[in-house]
């Protein structure tokens, strides 16, 4: 990382979590000098970065969404018990979204809750999964069905860890970045139009600023409505369909979100009069960042998952649509209405 000016810059965002940018995992140990730190990570992150983890106080679980379940939670809890983890110890979740979800959940329930912080290691975790406090696991086919909302104390961003990130994971992260641009930030949308993933990936300073912008967008929304009673629902743009096809097609999250964004744009055209030319601009931007804009999937099976969605409220669902690029709005629509659109689009 060449950007010395920004090294160790610290911002306290929104009062709900401290963010430390350009902060190595090594330095986390010095940041908490009086606490025992227990690191939780997955096999992939551990294989790529074994040297950053302390011997003894590191718990490693098998990588992959298929392991984000209660069985893995049980195993991690058994290991915490074996190493005698106590009420005053701190969990540090180091990894992508599966690690932050699972370690944040474990930290929230083990001994009724330990302190915890995250060091996200994927683009997706840096701009989305590590932020917001919703941490949990899947149950059968239902993503994130079991979980809590509890904020980490701090997020540590070490951009050097991204060096080992596979290219599909970079692409996946931009699914959430483009989502943020669509719902909240037309200026960032134009910025992304004028850049390419390859350039941003090779420009650490520019990439760090982009991550920071996205962290702030998400934290500002979460700070308004931590428990998702209203404003926070905006972050679900593209996610109603995304969660279903992520499960059915085993697509990485950001790629599924991309397909979900296109569907949500078409629903927006019908519900808010969103300009179809702007849908085209969004499709072009998603493709520019190598994201898929369609996917073949079993519509009946997908609808069964959509209609079981957590965003459902009785016979209605909160669905996020666009009025303009940079202006998302939350609409409560009947499941019947959405079903018609779902099978028509
Ligand atoms: N952990 C992701 C969120 O809270 O939205």
Closest Cα to atom 5, ligand 1: which residue? 132
The pLDDT value given to residue 5: 35
96 lines ligand 1 (CB under 6 A): no
Ligand 1 mutation target, pool 104, 134, 219, 243, most atoms within 8 A of CB: 134
Contact 321, 259 (CB under 8 A): no
Contact 27, 79 (CB under 8 A): no
Evaluated on CA atoms 52, 3, 165, 14, the torsion sign reads positive
Find, among 318, 340, 337, the residue nearest to 329 by Cα: 318
Distance 148 CA to ligand 1 centre (A): 10
The pLDDT value given to residue 2: 34
90 lines ligand 1 (CB under 6 A): no
103 lines ligand 1 (CB under 6 A): no
133 lines ligand 1 (CB under 6 A): yes
**CB atoms near residue 153 (< 10 Å):** 13
Ligand 1 mutation target, pool 93, 105, 129, 130, most atoms within 8 A of CB: 129
Which atom of ligand 1 lies nearest, measured to the CA of 218? 5
Q: Is 52 helix (H, G, I), strand (E, B) or coil?
A: helix
User: Rounded to 5, what percent of the chain is helix, strand, coil?
Assistant: 55, 20, 25
Which atom of ligand 1 lies nearest, measured to the CA of 97? 1
Rounded Cα distance, 121 and 159, in Å: 8
What's the order of all strands across the beta sheet hosting 58-61?
A: 10-13, 17-21, 154-157, 115-120, 90-95, 37-42, 58-61
Rounded Cα distance, 286 and 245, in Å: 17
- Would you mind telling me the total number of residues written for the chain in this entry? 345
Given the DSSP bridges, would you call strands 312-313 and 316-324 parallel, antiparallel or unpaired?
Answer: antiparallel
Domains and CATH numbers, the chain: 8-164 (3.40.50.1970), 175-344 (1.20.1090.10)
The pLDDT value given to residue 4: 37
**CB atoms near residue 109 (< 10 Å):** 16
The pLDDT value given to residue 142: 84
**Chain centroid, CA 241 distance in Å:** 16
The pLDDT value given to residue 314: 79
The pLDDT value given to residue 179: 98
Closest Cα to atom 2, ligand 1: which residue? 129
Contact 235, 218 (CB under 8 A): yes
Rounded Cα distance, 138 and 145, in Å: 5
In the predicted model, residues of the chain with pLDDT beneath 50 are: 1-7
Residue reference for tokens 């920004």 = 6
221 lines ligand 1 (CB under 6 A): no
Beta bridge partners of 136: 147
Nearest 5°: CA angle at 316, between 325 and 276? 25
Rounded Cα distance, 312 and 335, in Å: 8
């Amino acid at each position: 990382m060449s950007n010395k000016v920004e090294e160790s810059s610290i911002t306290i965002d929104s009062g709900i979590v401290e963010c430390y940018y350009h902060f190595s995992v090594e330095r986390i140990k010095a940041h908490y000098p009086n606490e025992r730190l227990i690191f939780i990570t997955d096999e992939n992150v551990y294989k790529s970065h074994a040297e950053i983890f302390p011997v003894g106080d590191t718990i490693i679980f098998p990588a992959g969404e298929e392991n984000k379940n209660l069985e893995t939670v049980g195993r991690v809890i058994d290991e915490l018990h074996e190493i005698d983890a106590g009420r005053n110890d701190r969990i540090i979740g180091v990894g992508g979204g599966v690690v932050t979800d699972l370690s944040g959940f474990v930290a929230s329930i083990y001994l009724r809750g330990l302190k915890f912080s995250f060091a996200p290691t994927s683009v997706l975790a840096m701009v989305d999964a590590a932020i917001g406090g919703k941490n949990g696991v899947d149950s059968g086919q239902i993503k994130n069905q079991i979980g809590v909302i509890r904020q980490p104390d701090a997020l540590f961003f070490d951009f050097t860890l991204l060096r080992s990130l596979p290219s599909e994971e970079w692409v996946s992260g931009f699914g959430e970045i483009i989502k943020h641009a669509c719902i909240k930030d037309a200026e960032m949308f134009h910025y992304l139009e004028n850049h390419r993933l390859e350039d941003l990936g090779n420009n650490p300073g520019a990439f760090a600023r982009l991550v920071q912008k996205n962290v702030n967008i998400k934290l500002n929304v979460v700070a308004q409505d931590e428990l998702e009673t209203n404003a926070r629902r905006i972050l679900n743009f593209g996610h109603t369909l995304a969660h279903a096809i992520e499960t059915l097609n085993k697509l990485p999250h950001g790629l599924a979100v991309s397909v979900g964004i296109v569907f949500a744009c078409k629903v927006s055209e019908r519900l808010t009069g969103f300009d179809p030319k702007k849908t085209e601009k969004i499709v072009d931007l998603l493709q520019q960042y190598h994201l898929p804009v369609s996917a073949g999937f079993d519509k009946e099976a997908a609808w069964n998952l959509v209609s079981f969605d957590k965003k459902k409220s009785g016979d209605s669902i909160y669905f996020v649509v666009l009025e303009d690029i940079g202006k998302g709005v939350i609409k409560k629509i009947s499941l019947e209405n959405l079903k018609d659109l779902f099978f028509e689009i």
